[in-house]
Amino acid sequence: MQAMRLIATQVLKNERQYEGGANPRKTLQPNVYEVGAPLEAWLHYHHEMAYIGSSTTMVSFMCNKIPAEGGYTFVSDNVAATESILATPFGQKLKELGICYHRDLTDRDSFIDRVEYGVYNHWQQSMLTDDQDQAIAEARSRGLTAEWGEDRKLKTRYTISAFEYFPQVDRNLLYSSMADDGAWFDTWPLVQHLPPEDRPLKLTFGDLTEMTREEKQLFIDIYDRHGIPIPWKVGDVALICNYRFAHGRPGIHLKEGEDRELGVLIGESFNRLQTFEDKW
């Protein structure tokens, strides 16, 4: 893993720590994070860290263990996905209204000696502090509105464009997905049983109106239509431009004795510019 990391960091400069993440990532080795999702969960296409003001330009995966068949990561051609979505009324609505990310982060102290039913990430882990005031301050410094809910849940809201300007192609590109909706948990152990309104994530339009089921399905289908597999072999290093591609994978079901382990590096930060009127 460290040898792959040395190669990846020739391209991916100024790695960032995975603070503020939605999901609980642990380190596999120094500076190498795990993917942070159960294997059986279906990971919808997404742009890394699209849900906070400080996003990342690049993400790298390093293949340490892989089953004999499958276990692929997929990338979706985001220029094609952008064109496809803007050709629909839903895409035009996204362009006009923007989106709002709703997150309910659970309290770690409420789950001591309890099975973590309904837990995605604790605010202590996401905000890297045990202090409630500091957690609020940290969330606000990231441009989120934040308040405490029942059971010391930290409820954050963030309204932003569904698109992001990409300087290298000089265009606004799609920069949001159903990975930030309750649908992310449809195949997630200990959370999938919850009804949508109780799940830790939710995506709405920027004016807080709900997306219909058909609109959500279209959002998923558009990325799927432009998917490209990465057929992993142990030792492979992938460097993925976070604007040009979304990434994701279906659920993985290993055979006995098989394993899948990818290391993740998060690239240089950038502050989201959102969109420019003359760059559609």
Instruction: Give least dist CB 184 to Fe ion, A.
Output: 11
Our CB check for Fe ion shows the closer of 205 and 245 to be 245
Side-chain half-sphere exposure of 190, counting CA atoms within 13 A: 10
Report the distance separating Cα 203 and Cα 179, nearest Å.
9
Instruction: Name which of 90 and 185 has its Cβ closer to Fe ion.
Output: 185
Cβ atoms 243, 166 nearer than 8 A:
yes
Question: Which residues are 58's β-sheet partners?
Answer: 241
Closer residue to Fe ion in complex, CB, 156/242? 242
Which residue's Cβ lies closest to Fe ion?
48
Q: Which x/- pattern, by CB under 5 A, does the window 92-131 give for Fe ion?
A: ----------------------------------------
* Choices 12-20, 41-49, 98-106, 219-227 (CB under 5 A): range interacting with Fe ion: 41-49
> In angstroms, rounded to a whole number, what is the distance separating the alpha carbons of residues 109 and 24?
16
Give the footprint of Fe ion on residues 122-181 (CB under 5 A): none
Q: Shortest CA distance to 27 belongs to which of 9, 7, 51, 1?
A: 1
CB of 181 to Fe ion, least distance (A): 15
Pick the closest to residue 247 from 86, 21, 77 (CA basis).
Answer: 77
Using the 8-state DSSP alphabet, how is residue 198 labeled? G
The single residue listed with the structure tokens 């492979």 is 236
Site for Fe ion in 45-64 (CB under 5 A): 48
Binding window for Fe ion (CB under 5 A); candidates: 43-51, 60-68, 69-77, 149-157: 43-51
Choose between 136 and 179: whose C-beta lies nearer to Fe ion: 179
Q: How far is the CB of 65 from Fe ion (least distance, A)?
A: 18
DSSP 77-99: EHHHHHHHHHTSHHHHHHHHH-E
Distance, CA of 167 to CA of 170 (rounded, Å)? 5
- Residue nearer to Fe ion on the CB measure, 103 or 153: 103
Residue with smaller CB distance to Fe ion, 51 or 123: 51
Q: What's the closest the beta carbon of residue 46 comes to Fe ion, in angstroms?
A: 6
The interface region with Fe ion, picked from 42-50, 69-77, 95-103, 207-215 by CB under 5 A, is: 42-50
| Cα dihedral sign, 262-35-266-69 | positive
Judged by CB, which is closer to Fe ion: 48, or 104? 48
Q: How far is the CB of 217 from Fe ion (least distance, A)?
A: 21
- Count of residues that interact with Fe ion, criterion CB under 5 A: 1
CA proximity to 119, closest of 43, 38, 63, 54: 38
| Token couple for 31 | 């500076």
- Nearer Cβ to Fe ion, position 48 or 107? 48
Identify the burial level of 97 via C-beta atoms within 10 angstroms of its C-beta, where 0-12 means exposed, 13-18 middle and 19 or more buried. Answer: middle
Span from 7-15, 40-48, 168-176, 184-192 in contact with Fe ion (CB under 5 A): 40-48
Q: Given the rule CB under 5 A, which residues bind Fe ion?
A: 48
